[in-house]
Amino acid sequence: MSAVTAVLQVGLVVVVLAAAHRPLGAYLARVFTSRRHLAVERAGYRVMRVDPDAEQRWSTYLVSLLGFSLASVLVLFGLARLQDRLPLSVGAPPMDPAGAWNTAVSFVTNTNWQWYSGETAAGHLLQMAGLAVQNFVSAAVGLAVAVALIRGFARSGTDARVGNFWSDLVRGSVRVLLPLAFVAALALVAGGVIQNLHAPTEVTTLAGGTQHVLGGPVASQEAIKQLGTNGGGFFNANSAHPFENPTPWTSALQVVLMLLVPLSLPRAFGLMVGDRRQGWAVLATMGVLWAGSVALLTWAETAGPGLAPAAAGAALEGKETRFGAAASALFAASTTGTSTGAVNAMHDSLTAPGGGVTLVNMLLGEVAPGGVGSGLYGLLVLAIVAVFLAGLMVGRTPEYLGKKIGRQEITLVALVVLTMPAVVLVGTAFAVALPAGQAGIQEAGPHGLSEVLYAFASAGNNNGSAFGGLTSGTPFYQVLLGLAMLVGRFVPIALVLALAGRLASQRTVPAGSGRLPTHGPLFVGLLVSVTLVVVALTFVPVLSLGPVVESLS
């Protein structure tokens, strides 16, 4: 792919996202502020025996969320263990306990890490009734938490009430994700993505032999896999497989789907807090970080150090020739900038600086633009850090959107910021120090460390992508990565909901002449700097031992 074609592809993605930003953002705001319930939603509430109009304190909201997630883990674990006894198993065996645990936790936490090959380990029923369902509801959970935090900023003196989890979960699924996924699935089918219930079919190869090709309900799962920033592939090759991603335009469509909701949420945020400029500032921060990662990754894969442009023009090993290096770089930057984790190229085959960019994208906390809901609440937490630091520099009590940031608020924010690095670094240390962890490392030296670091960065940030060289289908990695996913998902959620409750219980302070404006270019620059510096201070040592050393050597 030429440089001009690469620029045109990025431009097309940006134009589509820009066109969708205002209407979808406004629609999201209406969905979560409307007092009206659809008939199908009321039927669901009656089945669940919940009152959707009952406001919950943040602690009750959290208990509801954790209870729903625990039930989801148990159901998915049972489906994985019993799938050989269920219809539409297409010969898939039951998963072993450690593997079923890892898979259940992975999809419930919106991570979608896959230690298994989808075409051999997961039958159609598990894919449809288990994994695809979790693709919807795990994304809706992240969306619900983001909306609860927005309400914390928007409300004043509400006794820590941040909404109703069940109502937010149902609305996010029924009104947002289902209709968008339905349209996206039709578009993917039109582009050649398969959608059927076929068992493996024997076909004759060009060499005269035979092989078995599996069909399945791929388009329906592919749509929500990208739209919900999930990433788990129906096939082992994920979005590099021609049944999941047949053409360059379906690849560009999948990039749009990854970014669609995360980049529309800032407008919903601005509308719900009553100041659209705040949404523009958040969007600008996300856009700067995403554009920077796309540019760096494209450079690394097409003209970076160690390449031979005269021979091939780019680093093509591990990439689909249907897409080329530049389209693979765009996909890789978007999938790690969000919490998607889908791949259309082998990340283990990225150049050393290219692999470093994908790692940094995840280690930023995936806020560029991040996952459905999780990207917004992650960046709002960093915005609080930015106003706190600015307040310290000028000697004023920090405020954000009329809410004072005191000791309790900044303590919660600090714990959110520190949780992910603790999960990633502690998990990586265990893996490289213990024989069971060392046994799964394919490469020696810096690249081997990068493989392990990437795995725990992916799990701790609920991304799900992998370098591919690490043997993670062992009980050691299945259990340890499962724990990393749980802590990386639910500890920050608990802290963010506690923060939302604290903010909602505060009285909004009228804007004063000395308050830091949080809607202009100065604040955007400050927020970008804080986001990068927090990562630099935390992960520079381990990155220096991995991708940095590999790049220099």
Query: What DSSP assignment string belongs to 113-166?
Result: --SS-HHHH--HHIIIIIIIHHHHHHHHHHHHHHHHHHHHHH--S-TTEEE-HH
> Is residue 17 situated within a structural domain?
yes
3-state secondary structure of 427: helix
Q: Cis ω on the peptide bond leading into residue 369 (within 30° of 0)? A: yes
Kind and range of the H or E element at 361?
A: helix 352-363
Task: Determine, yes or no, domain membership for 9.
Answer: yes
Tell me if 438 is assigned to some domain: yes
- Predicted pLDDT at 527: 96
Q: What's the pLDDT score for residue 310?
A: 38
Total count of residues recorded for the chain: 553
Q: What is the mean pLDDT of the segment spanning 178-182?
A: 98
pLDDT for 306 equals: 56
Q: Say whether both 266 and 381 belong to one domain.
A: no
Residue 534 lies in a domain: yes
Nearest to 72 by CA among 489, 510, 509, 503: 489
Least confident of 44-53, 210-219, 316-325: 316-325
CB 322 within 8 A of CB 248: yes
Give the model confidence (pLDDT) of 261-278 as tens digits. 999 999 999 999 999 999
Which of 467, 463, 469, 462 is closest to 488 using CA atoms? 462
Total tally of structural domains belonging to the chain: 2
Print the domain residue range for 146: 3-202+212-274
DSSP secondary structure letters along 314-355: S--TTB-TTTHHHHHHHHHHHHHHTT----SB-GGGS-HHHH
Do 156 and 265 belong together in one domain? yes
Closest CA to 466 of 241, 231, 300: 231
Structural domain includes residue 351: no
Confirm whether 101 is domain-assigned: yes
What residues contact 4, with CB distance under 8 A and at least 6 apart? none
Predicted local distance difference test score (pLDDT) of residue 212: 83
Least-confidence region, from 74-83, 98-107, 395-404, 499-508: 395-404
| 513 compared with 252, residue with greater pLDDT | 252
Percent of the chain at pLDDT exceeding 90? 76
Instruction: Read off the tokens for 368.
Output: 């560029």
309 is a domain residue: no
- pTM flag (> 0.75): yes
348 domain residue, yes or no: no
Backbone angles phi, psi at 204, to 5 degrees: -95, 130
Q: What is the pLDDT of residues 279-319, one digit of tens each?
A: 999 999 999 999 999 999 999 888 765 554 434 456 777 88
The pLDDT-based confidence of 208 (bands split at 50, 70, 90) is: confident
Distance CA(308)–CA(161), nearest Å, equals 59
Last residue of a domain, one of 222, 249, 274: 274
Domain boundary among 274, 303, 324: 274
Residues 6+ apart with CB under 8 A from 360: 293, 535, 539, 543
From 248, 274, 300, the end of a domain falls on 274
Least confident range of 430-439, 490-499, 541-550: 541-550
Mean pLDDT of 491-510: 95
pLDDT band of residue 348 (cuts 50, 70, 90) is confident
Q: What is the mean pLDDT of residues 178-202?
A: 94
